[in-house]
Structure 1
Amino acid sequence: MEPQISRLSATEKALEVIWQLEEKYGDLMFYQAGGCCEGTQPQCFEKGGFFPRMNDAMIGTINRHEFWIDRDLFEYWKYSHFTLDVVDGFGPGGFSLETPLGKTFKVHYKLFTPEEYKNLEPVKRSE
């Protein structure tokens, strides 16, 4: 059986910021909303600091931290690999834990090939 393909990865720059946040806050979680006030950029919270809605999708983990996506946004992006990155500056909203560091998380997307899509890791849904 072939190993399953991950839906999620992170750049070294993103991992460095996550390590800083872990040191300060402990366990973390990520949530990427579908728009409105917070836009569609991923937000980082202390674990339990945000509650996914019914049927939102958890597409994987980064350093054991769950990465959740709004259910509607996931339907749009379910054919894509997410790479979490970080850039200098402030994103909309400013509620994410990296904001005081003058950073903002962002995602790069890459479409899966049909062969990759057939062998993806399963998605966990909130209840």
Structure 2
Amino acid sequence: METKIARLSATEKALEVIWELEKKYGDLMFYQAGGCCEGTQPQCFEKGGFFPRMNDAMIGTINEHEFWIDRDLFEYWKYSHFTLDVVDGFGPGGFSLETPLGKTFKVVYRLFTPDEYENLEPVKRSE
């Protein structure tokens, strides 16, 4: 059986920040909205600190923490691999847990090849 292709990964720098947040807050979750106040910056919350809307997509996990994206944003980006990264500075909104550390999560996208797209891990949808 062929291994399924992940839709999501994280850089070492992002993992270091996540480990720091895990020590302080425990279980985490990520949510990337489709715009408005927070733009399309991924937000990190304590698990249960944000409730995905009906039909939002959970595209994978990072350190077993779910990464959800807005249902409309998923339709736009479903052909893309997401790599979670972190940079110095303050992103829009400031609600994300990494903000007090002077960091901001961001996503780097790349398009899947046609072969990858045919063999992706399944997406979980909120109900």
TM-score by length of 2: 1.00
- Distance, in Å, in 2 between the alignment partners of 1:95 and 1:9 is 22
Deviation, 1:20, is 0.2
- Distance, in Å, in 1 between the alignment partners of 2:115 and 2:7 is 14
Gaps in structure 2 of 5+ consecutive residues? none
Deviation, 1:107, is 0.2
| Deviation digits for residues 77-104 of structure 1 (CA, Å, limit 9, x no counterpart) | 0000000000000000000000000000
Deviation, 1:118, is 0.2
Match of 2:59 in 1: 59
Deviation, 1:37, is 0.6
CA RMSD, 1 decimal: 0.3
Match of 1:90 in 2: 90
Secondary structure, aligned partner of 2:74: helix
Deviation, 1:53, is 0.1
Gaps in structure 1 of 5+ consecutive residues? none
TM-score by length of 1: 1.00
- Superposition misfits of 4+ residues, deviation over 2 angstroms: none
Deviation, 1:113, is 0.4
How high is the sequence identity, in percent, across the aligned residues?
92
Deviation, 1:55, is 0.1
